[in-house]
Amino acid sequence: MRQLIVSTILFFLVSLSACGNLSSEPKLSIEDAWARAPAMEGGNGAVYFRVLNEGGEADRLLSVSSPVATAEMHQTVAKENGTMSMEPLDAVEVPARDEIEFKQGGMHIMLIGVADPMSIGDTIPFTLRFEHTGNLQITVEVRQ
Amino acid sequence: MFWKMRWLFWFGLALLSISCQPYTFKGTEYPEGISAEEFTLATTEGRSFRLSDQRGKVVLMFFGFTSCPDVCPTTMAEAKRILEGLGEDTQNVRFVFITVDPERDTPERLGEYVSNFHPEIVGLTGTSEELQTMFDAYGIYAAKVPLENSAAEYTMEHSARVFLVDQDGRLRLSYAFGTPDEEILQDVQYLLQ
């Protein structure tokens, strides 16, 4: 009898935890965010990071902004014979229980015309606007 | 005693075979003997930079533009690590950054850009015709691509390989974008031996 009670409690506990994972909302976090400082005053920079979604529903990154410069989502695209190009991105999907990465040679945030000089180790504020989650405020460390 | 001697013999032979293995370049090799096309461009200080004047040095060449936010600074950060890794041998290497966007890259802007990465990196520019002649000689593709609804206005689609010309003026190797800087450094150090 006692064994049956313990088994029943365990069953419901496991079921409850499974329900938690099946949450129908995106659950986002931003990891490894860093910015490359522009090589000159008024130059362009880039920001890289990972977006993790532990929730059960996808979300979409719609736009990015920062007080330090105009920020746009772009993607570096490899073409034939080692030629590289760059294309603007309208929105980026973050699938459920998955992650996406903005990285060198791939998707990146382009900072256009950074007026104030950035030093290695500085942090800059950033806002990521998602379709379901809304705004996520992050700070990004400047590296070389 | 005999067994010990035999073990020593095989150990020695193994060491010998390892040390005698030819060096394998990490970059994509061109057939030996291809002479790198001569070119003359201007440095950011307005001096003339002629390839044949660099004989005795290893020349690494990259084609990019200063407004580029991703590919070019990623490669230039690698250039910095390569030059730092060379130590005193830096004087035997020239890393040149040749603009594909002379419209925006004034000599001043180009000079400020390259020196931010490493003082030994040489920024090169020229008239559109001079640059195009050089691009044609090396099979470099560079084209202006408008970016609609972007504050950047336009980007440059361009070849992103690093080219290596050896001390004898031969085009020896090239490296795809993203090649680890340690691999390029190893090749350069081997050529400088």
- Given a cut of 50, is residue A19 above it in pLDDT? no
Of A62, A69, A48, the residue nearest A118 (C-alpha): A69
- A32-82 per-position pLDDT tens digit: 999 998 988 889 999 999 999 999 999 999 999 999 999 999 999 999 888
Domain A24-143, second-level architecture: Sandwich (2.60)
What is the structure's pLDDT at A138? Answer: 97
CB contact (8 A) between residue B71 and residue A45: no
Q: Are strands B171-175 and B162-165 parallel, antiparallel or unpaired?
A: antiparallel
What is the structure's pLDDT at B119? Answer: 96
Instruction: Enumerate the domain spans of chain A.
Output: 24-143
- The residues, ordered by sequence, that sit 6+ positions from A114 with a Cβ below 8 Å of its Cβ are A37, A38, A42, A43, A44, A45, A68, A69
Reported as a pLDDT band with limits 50, 70 and 90, residue B10 is: low
Structure tokens given for A85: 């190009």
What is the reported pTM?
Answer: 0.85
Average pLDDT over residues A100-112: 97
What is the structure's pLDDT at A20? Answer: 47
What is the structure's pLDDT at B5? Answer: 63
What spatial distance separates the first Cα and last Cα of chain B, rounded to whole Å? 41
Residue B170 phi/psi, 5° resolution?
-100, 135
User: Quick check: A110 contacting B, CB < 8 Å?
Assistant: yes
- B116-175 per-position pLDDT tens digit: 999 999 999 999 999 999 999 999 999 999 998 899 999 999 999 999 999 999 999 999
Contacts of B117 in chain A (CB under 8 A): 39
Let me know: does B134 contact B99? Beta carbons within 8 Å. Answer: no
Find which of A34, A36, A40, A72 to mutate to test the B interface (most B CBs within 10 Å of its CB): A40
**Nearest CB to A70: which of B80, B113, B151?**
B151
CB contact (8 A) between residue A86 and residue B147: yes
Instruction: Give all domains of chain B, ordered by start, each with its CATH number.
Output: 27-192 (3.40.30.10)
CA A65 to chain centre: 13
ipTM of the complex as predicted: 0.82
* Structure-model confidence comparison of residues A69 and A17, the more confident one: A69
Instruction: Indicate the residue type of A20.
Output: G
Let me know: does A42 contact A83? Beta carbons within 8 Å. Answer: no
Let me know: does B57 contact B93? Beta carbons within 8 Å. Answer: yes
CB contact (8 A) between residue B70 and residue A70: no
Contacts of A46 in chain B (CB under 8 A): 69-70, 73
Give SS3 for B80: helix
* Structure-model confidence comparison of residues B153 and A17, the more confident one: B153
- Given a cut of 60, is residue B2 above it in pLDDT? no
- Given a cut of 60, is residue B28 above it in pLDDT? yes
3-state secondary structure labels for all residues of B106-123: CHHHHHHHHHHHCCCCEE
In terms of CA atoms, which chain A residue is nearest residue B153? A112
Q: Where are the alpha helices (DSSP H) in A1-144?
A: 2-21
Contacts of A110 in chain B (CB under 8 A): 69-70, 152
Average pLDDT over residues B92-96: 98
User: Quick check: B147 contacting A, CB < 8 Å?
Assistant: yes
User: Quick check: B70 contacting A, CB < 8 Å?
Assistant: yes
In terms of CA atoms, which chain B residue is nearest residue A38? B69
- B69-89 per-position pLDDT tens digit: 999 999 999 999 999 999 999
- The residues, ordered by sequence, that sit 6+ positions from A90 with a Cβ below 8 Å of its Cβ are A73
What is the structure's pLDDT at A116? Answer: 85
CB contact (8 A) between residue A84 and residue B161: no
Which positions 49-68 of A are in contact with B (Cβ < 8 Å)? none
**Nearest CB to B151: which of A72, A79, A83?**
A72
- The residues, ordered by sequence, that sit 6+ positions from A47 with a Cβ below 8 Å of its Cβ are A33, A34, A35, A36, A64, A66, A71, A102, A108, A109, A111, A126, A140
Measured CA to CA, the distance from residue A53 to residue A98 in angstroms comes to 6
How many residue pairs from chains A and B have C-beta atoms closer than 8 A? 93
